[in-house]
Chain A
């Protein structure tokens, strides 16, 4: 692994003040993410995996600690278009066509019309949706909508792709297919990907690095560097190496629970 971190977090704390008193969403989180890594965050609800992703994106502000993205603060990195964000729901605007939805960030960022059209065509091809640019979201299946939302996040060429349980609402067959496609896309674009998930097989199958988190307070309980090769057919999930990593992730999750 190269030691070229694009995201560094040092002793990150985040406490939400709620009516029921303070909630420690993140406690003492320290992590490096290298360029080109595919990092999964896995853990039960309330472990802070989504919160950490939102901190990277500058959508939440840590109460203590340091975080930098490409050597900048998350806010600066956002203005420099450092990342694209994919949410749990596709969140496509129903009044815009698929092409119109992908153009949305491009319009906001001020790309000219010709460049917008060129980029829409390119990212639709990347997510295998060529020819769907004039369709409206409701005309597409859930899996296709989520692919369109990934295309939208890719459209402005951010180096980092942050994905918050993007396939959580989809059935397993569709999810397998999208996982495979996501790996191909990652190989082609050499992006750095941060990926939040609930699913152990998904995390092991996709990641070069698996971050196991545990709740109350949200913290990192294990970081696993995957020995699996970058090229991964779906049936790699039946190999002993795969099962061994999955086992270690499960142990990490269980240990987090025993702490309570």
Chain B
């Protein structure tokens, strides 16, 4: 990304951070007031039940003393940005990557399922797209099912997949990967069908004048023509695959992975852990997409389509 592209992006990030920082006070006002009272500060109104009558912002206005305290609660309703940042720092940089306390360890657990699922989903997606483009029956039959498959909420489907695969003895990486694959094959099918069909009538006629075979048409025209479409799909697919792996970790009470961290934070009242896992997942997704963008740029440039 160029400097020109970074400035608007940073502006948006800064704006979000600002809203977040401001929101910490009203969101945590009641919890902070309770804690401050236990620590011996005078609160108005005095009874916790009466304080519930007030909106968070009003309460903070009546008791300005709680405003700085709202940012340092141990178990806040909304953690402040610096709390999340410090949790991220501690769990990424100060723990051994093999330790259960390390976010890198959990990231790798989710990432391995994501990558396997992404490979399965992409392969399946490309094969289906080729089938759809070359076979009339598949064209009529597969696409409606592919679309239908994406209308089923993955949250409803994921536990069933995990339980059913568990019943036939498949556990661990593969069930999560299958959920990843389930989410990531779809953008690849859609993109590749469009890409493989992108050559126009003239380009197809040209090959006919050479009496080219159908497989020559695929390898020499349709497949290279579909590359820009494939990369767009891959970028959508890999983030979908990551979401799939995380969702796959939720229903089984997995012990490791971003999904497990989010559950743990939620169940044990440690929102900072949940938020750190969320950000960890977002950063991982951004890195994956960035890597794909880099490969895309290099590939298309080598193919003479760098200007795209």
Chain A residues near B (Cβ < 8 Å): 57-59, 78-79, 83-85, 87-89, 91, 93-97, 104-105, 107-109, 136-138
Contacts and interface: CB of A to CB of B under 8 A. Distances in A.
Contact of B209 (A83, A93, A136, A138): A83
Interface string B166-200: 00000000000000000000000000000000000
A85 B304 contact: no
B211 A87 contact: no
A168 B216 CA distance: 30
B294 to A, nearest CB: 19
Interface residues of B, number: 20
Contacts of B210: 104-105, 108-109
A96 B224 CA distance: 10
A96 to B, nearest CB: 7
19 contacts: A85-B209, A87-B205, A88-B202, A89-B202, A91-B202, A91-B203, A91-B206, A93-B224, A94-B303, A94-B304, A95-B225, A95-B303, A95-B305, A96-B304, A104-B210, A107-B220, A108-B216, A108-B220, A138-B307
Given A59-B209, A137-B304, A87 B202 contact: yes
Most chain B CB within a 10 A radius of its CB, from A87, A88, A94: A94
Interface of B: 202-203, 205-212, 216, 220-221, 224-225, 227, 303-305, 307
B208 A136 contact: no
Most buried by A among B202, B209, B216, B303: B209
A95 B303 CA distance: 4
Contacts of A87: 202, 205-206
A57, A79, A85: most-surrounded residue (chain B CB, <10 A): A85
Nearest to B221: A93
Nearest to B300: A95
B289 to A, nearest CB: 23
